[in-house]
Amino acid sequence: RDHLLEVHSLKKYFNIKKDVTIKSVDDISISIRRGETFGLVGESGSGKSTLGKTIVGLQNPTAGEIIYNGQNVTQLDGQAKKDVNKEMQIIFQDPQASLNPRMRVGDIIAEGIDAYKLFKGKERTARIYELLERVGLRPEHAKRFPHEFSGGQRQRIGIARALAVEPKFIVADEPISALDVSIQAQVINLMEELKESEGLTYLFIAHDLGMVKHISDRIGVMYLGKMMELSNSDDMFTNPLHPYTQALLSAIPKANPRAAKRERIVLLGDPPSPTAPPSGCRFRTRCPHAMEICALQEPQWKEVEDEHWTACHLY
């Protein structure tokens, strides 16, 4: 089986008031291959975190299916659901907010170990020490509190906590966005090492394409709850099809100025309110190529080139 995870027509809607619904994830289908890093990119409000949280079971989907390792997770309950949830862990954006300030680091890391009753006593302690070392920290850090650590170290603690239950699939929800640029590469390197040593598969969420370029095998681009484009990482950068992706790419400063020259595309206006997305193509109010049909008909999600998908009436 090639795919570790398949998401079919997934929807996650929030009713925020009577008659006001936010379609945070609106009919998304993606598959993630065993051992790959799938980069998921979008502005804030695009629904990328909601998609990640729904996949790992922190939220129930409004509709659609999540197939993990051949099992329909959306239909599981009891022990079977617990077993699957244990294999899927999440690392959060803000290690400050996601670590309980009143708990010692060792107990934070052991949250999953305790919840699933994996180890007790000396074995539990040994496991905590091993996890600390695996993420580049030291056993004596176990008895300290989160505030005694730097941002980068706190993210290492968050990673150790996720690893404690030996997951196979990790959603990393903007794991480096809150960190100093100088620390970002260290955390990325650690995640890549762990991916190899632990045999992990990642859904790596970020708000810009530059952040996921080097680590992703494939990339998906979201806008207002919809997937706009999906392809392997190289194609996304050399041959972006969707006008939104083209605009995002044009905003990345070029590391190599002689690389293909691309004019900066400035998007019109602000993102529309997610409570009232435009008719037809949700990107049309900001799209430099918008046509009449774009307001009338939602573009279909289709494979325009080999394994290169997009939803746009230009294709």
Give contact residues for ligand SF4 (rule: CB under 6 A): 242-243, 281, 283-284, 287, 289-291, 294, 299, 312-314
Does the protein bind Mg ion through residue 49 (CB under 5 A)?
A: yes
Q: How far is the CB of 300 from ligand SF4 (least distance, A)?
A: 10
Residue 290 partner contact from Mg ion, ligand SF4, none using kind-dependent CB cut-offs of 5 to 8 Å: ligand SF4
- Per partner kind, with CB cut-offs from 5 to 8 A, the member of ligand SF4, Mg ion, none near residue 135 is none
> For residue 250, how far is the Cα from the chain centroid?
22
Does residue 54 touch Mg ion according to CB under 5 A?
A: no
Partner interacting with residue 294 (select from Mg ion, ligand SF4, none; CB below 5-8 Å by kind): ligand SF4
- The closest of 299, 285, 211 to 251, measured between CA atoms, is 211
Minimum CB distance to ligand SF4, residue 284 (Å): 4
**What's the closest the beta carbon of residue 294 comes to ligand SF4, in angstroms?**
3
Angstrom CA distances, 65 to 11, 55, 59, 181, stand at 9, 10, 13, 37
Give the nearest distance from C-beta 286 to ligand SF4 in angstroms: 8
The entry of Mg ion, ligand SF4, none near residue 49 (CB within 5 to 8 angstroms by kind) is Mg ion
Nearer to ligand SF4, 242 or 308 (CB): 242
3-state secondary structure (DSSP) of residue 115: helix
Q: How far is the CB of 50 from ligand SF4 (least distance, A)?
A: 22
Give the separation between CA 153 and CA 198, rounded to whole angstroms. Answer: 20
Per the DSSP assignment, residues forming a β-bridge with 22 are 14
Which option in Mg ion, ligand SF4, none does residue 262 bind, with CB closer than 5 to 8 A by kind?
Answer: none
Of 259 and 314, CB closest to ligand SF4: 314
The CA-based angle 220-223-226, given to 5 degrees, is 75
CB 88 within 8 A of CB 169: yes
283 binds, among ligand SF4, Mg ion, none (CB under 5 to 8 A by kind): ligand SF4
Could you tell me the smallest distance in angstroms from the CB atom of residue 281 to ligand SF4? 3
- By C-beta, is 47 or 167 nearer to ligand SF4? 47
278 burial (CB, 10 Å; 0-12 / 13-18 / 19+) is middle
Q: How far is the CB of 52 from Mg ion (least distance, A)?
A: 8
Residue reference for tokens 């002689």: 258
Q: Is 257 left (phi over 0), alpha (psi -120 to 50) or beta?
A: alpha
**Whats the size of the chain, residue-wise?**
315
Q: Between residues 98 and 313, which has the closer beta carbon with respect to Mg ion?
A: 98
> Dihedral angle at the C-alpha atoms of 176, 181, 183, 184, nearest 10 degrees?
40
Query: For binding to Mg ion (CB under 5 A), which residues are involved?
Result: 49
